A and B are shown apart, each in its own frame.
Chain A
C-alpha cells in the first residue's frame, strides 16, 4: 500500500528484455498511484491551478524584490508625501504619477515597493510555521497513536489543553511580552512570530494525525507487516506515515492563510514585525504594518491601506482555493 507512493516509473522506462510482450504493454502504461491520480484531479481544477501559478509568482516576487521595485521601500522624501495612486489625477502636487504606481505614504515612501517587499514577510510567516507545525504535529501524532497507553494519554491531555486556549489572545500576549527580549529582536521579530505561531498550531495537526494512525493501525497490511517481523520504526515510517499524508497536506494548505492573516492582524494592531531602518534590511516592512500606517491616512491616501488589504485578501484567496482543490483531489469522496 505504502509502496505505491513511489511509482515504479523507472522500471517502465527501461523495459526488461526478458519480459513478454504482454507484460511490457502493462508496464509501458505508468501505473497510477494515489499521488498521480490526485495530481490529475488537481490539474482539472482551474481555480486551484490559477492559485498555484499566482503563489509561484509571489515567491519569485519575494525573492527578486530588489530587482522589481522602482524605489527603495525605506527611501523617505517628506516633500513627496501622500502622493495619490498613478491613475488619480488632482491639480495639486500630490497628483498621481506612474513613477509611484500606488502613490506614496506619509513619509514619501513608495507604496508599490513596500507592497512588494511585504510579500516576503507574508510568505515567510505563512510557510515557515507551517513546516514546523507539520513536523512537530506529525511526530507527536504518530508517536501518540502508535505507542498508545501512557504516551497517548499524556499527549492527548497536552493537545486538549493547547486547543482550549484562545489562540489569537495568547498570540497577542506572547508577542507583546517577548518582542523586546533578544529572541524577539531577531529579524525584526519574525523569528518570534514563527515560534509563537508554531507553538499554538501544532496541537490541531497532532490530533488529526493521531486519529488517522489509530484507524490505520488496525488495517490488515500493518498486521501483515508485524507478522513478517518488520520493525516498529519501519511500520511507522513506511506504512503509517505515508498514509496519513493526504489529510496532513490539506490541513497544511489551510495553515498558511491562517498564519498570514494572524501576522496581518498583529501588524494592524501595531504588534507585528518591527519596521526596519536599515535600507538593506531583508524584511523592511510587512503588509500588517502597512495596514496600520494606512489606517491613519484612510481619507488622504486610501491606497496606503487598500493595497496591503487587497494583497492579503488575494493571498488568502489563493491558498484557500489551493486548499479546497487539494482536498477535492486527495479525498474524492468529499467532492459533491
Chain B
C-alpha cells in the first residue's frame, strides 16, 4: 500500500514537469506580456520595461540558453523556465505576481483558495447527500413514478451546463424574485455561496443519483439479499446494513474526482457569480499575461486533481477488500 502511494506520488513529478513545460511554452507564445497596459492609458517607458524584465529575469531565453559556456554546462540552463523550476524545487518560491506589484503568487492564491474550497465543499456536500438519497429512493421504488421522475430529472440536470443553470437561477432568484442581489459584495458566511453551490453541484448530484440507483438495483438482485430476507431480517436492516454498504462502493470511487472537479471546476460559476476564488484569479491572470500566476494556478489544479484520484484508489482498496492495489 505504502509503495503504491509513493509510486503514484513519484509519478506526479514527470506529469507536473511536463505540464509546466507545456504551459510555460504556450504562455510565451501568447502575444503581449505582463507589463502591457490598457492601450488607452499611458504606456510603460521602454527603459522601465527593460529594467523590469531584467529584475524578473524575463530578458533571459525561455527554455535554453544557447549562450552558455561549455566549461560550465549548467549555464545552458540559465533560462526563464529552468530558473523558475529551480526556485520552486529549491526554495518553494513560486515567484512574485507580475501584475500585482510586490505580492507573491502564493499569497494571492492563499486568499483565493478558501473561497473556492468553501464553494466546492458546499457543492460537494449537498450534491452527494441529495444524490445518494434520491438514488436510494428511486431504486427502492423501481418502476414507479418516483423512480421515473428522479431518473428523468437526473438526466436533464446532468446535461444542463452549469452556466445555463446559473443564468436561470440568477434570472429567477436575483432578477425576478430579488431574494439575493445579482452582484454580491460581501463573501463572508454561507449565504452568498448558496446559489453558486447549487449550480456547481447540480450535475454531480444527478450523476451520483443515477450511479446510486443503478448500483442499488444491482445489489438488490444478489443472493445475500435473498438470504437476509429469507432468514427474517427486517426490511430496514436489509436496506441499511446489507444493501447500502455494498451499493455505495461504486459511489465512493467517484467522490474523489468529484471533489477535485468541484473545487477546481468552478471557473464558470466563479465568473458568473463573481466569487473571488482561484477560478476567477486564473481567468484574470490569463487575460493579464501574469505568467507566474498562470503557472501556479495550473500546477495547483493538476496537483489537486491528482491527489483526488489517488485518494479514491486508496479508499477503494479500503472499502472493497477484493481490490488489490498494484
Q: Residues of A at under 8 Å CB distance from B?
A: 160-161, 164-166, 168-170, 172-174, 176-178, 180-181, 257, 261, 264-265, 268-269, 291, 295, 298-299, 302, 305-306, 309-310, 312-313, 316-317, 319-321, 324, 336
In Å, the complex CA distance between A176 and B290 comes to 13
Contact assessment for B286 and A268 in the assembled complex, using a CB-CB cutoff below 8 Å: no
Closest Cβ neighbor of B23 among chain A residues: A173
Contact assessment for B30 and A177 in the assembled complex, using a CB-CB cutoff below 8 Å: yes
User: Is B81 in contact with chain A by the CB < 8 A criterion?
Assistant: no
Residues of chain A lying within 8 A (CB to CB) of residue B271: 269
4 residue pairs, one from A and one from B, having the closest CB atoms: A177-B26, A177-B30, A316-B159, A320-B159
Contact assessment for A298 and B305 in the assembled complex, using a CB-CB cutoff below 8 Å: no
Residues of chain A lying within 8 A (CB to CB) of residue B11: 160
Contact assessment for B265 and A313 in the assembled complex, using a CB-CB cutoff below 8 Å: no
Known pairs A161-B18, A172-B283, A265-B163 / 12 extra A-B pairs, C-beta < 8 Å = A166-B302, A172-B282, A173-B23, A176-B26, A177-B30, A178-B30, A298-B170, A299-B175, A309-B168, A317-B155, A317-B156, A324-B155
User: Is B244 in contact with chain A by the CB < 8 A criterion?
Assistant: no
Residues of chain B lying within 8 A (CB to CB) of residue A295: 167, 272
User: Is B73 in contact with chain A by the CB < 8 A criterion?
Assistant: no
**Smallest distance from the beta carbon of B28 to chain A beta carbons, Å?**
8
Residues of chain A lying within 8 A (CB to CB) of residue B170: 298
Residues of chain B lying within 8 A (CB to CB) of residue A265: 161, 163, 267-268
Contact assessment for B27 and A173 in the assembled complex, using a CB-CB cutoff below 8 Å: yes
User: Is B214 in contact with chain A by the CB < 8 A criterion?
Assistant: yes
In Å, the complex CA distance between A49 and B19 comes to 42
Partner of A302, one of B171, B214, B297: B171
**Smallest distance from the beta carbon of B132 to chain A beta carbons, Å?**
17
Contact assessment for A309 and B298 in the assembled complex, using a CB-CB cutoff below 8 Å: no
Closest Cβ neighbor of B156 among chain A residues: A317
In Å, the complex CA distance between A268 and B163 comes to 9
**Smallest distance from the beta carbon of B308 to chain A beta carbons, Å?**
11
Residues of chain A lying within 8 A (CB to CB) of residue B214: 336
Inter-chain contact count A-B, CB under 8 Å? Answer: 111
Q: Residues of B at under 8 Å CB distance from A?
A: 11-12, 14-15, 18-19, 22-23, 26-31, 155-156, 158-161, 163-164, 167-168, 170-171, 175, 214, 217-218, 264-265, 267-268, 271-272, 282-283, 286, 294, 297-298, 301-302, 305-306
Using known A-B contacts A165-B19, A173-B23, A316-B160, determine if residue A321 contacts B286 with beta carbons closer than 8 Å.
Answer: no
Contact assessment for B164 and A310 in the assembled complex, using a CB-CB cutoff below 8 Å: yes
Contact assessment for A181 and B305 in the assembled complex, using a CB-CB cutoff below 8 Å: no
In Å, the complex CA distance between A168 and B175 comes to 30
In Å, the complex CA distance between A319 and B175 comes to 31
Residues of chain A lying within 8 A (CB to CB) of residue B15: 160-161, 164-165
Contact assessment for A305 and B167 in the assembled complex, using a CB-CB cutoff below 8 Å: yes
Contact assessment for B167 and A298 in the assembled complex, using a CB-CB cutoff below 8 Å: yes
In Å, the complex CA distance between A321 and B294 comes to 37
Partner of B31, one of A161, A165, A180, A299: A180
**Smallest distance from the beta carbon of B299 to chain A beta carbons, Å?**
9
Residues of chain B lying within 8 A (CB to CB) of residue A164: 12, 15, 19, 302, 305-306
**Smallest distance from the beta carbon of B10 to chain A beta carbons, Å?**
13
Using known A-B contacts A298-B170, A298-B171, A320-B159, determine if residue A170 contacts B23 with beta carbons closer than 8 Å.
Answer: yes
In Å, the complex CA distance between A257 and B168 comes to 20
Residues of chain B lying within 8 A (CB to CB) of residue A165: 15, 19, 302
Partner of A312, one of B22, B164, B171, B267: B164
Q: List 11 A-B contacts (CB under 8 A).
A: A160-B11, A166-B298, A176-B26, A177-B27, A178-B29, A257-B159, A269-B268, A298-B167, A298-B175, A316-B160, A336-B214
**Smallest distance from the beta carbon of A208 to chain B beta carbons, Å?**
17
Residues of chain B lying within 8 A (CB to CB) of residue A317: 155-156, 159-160
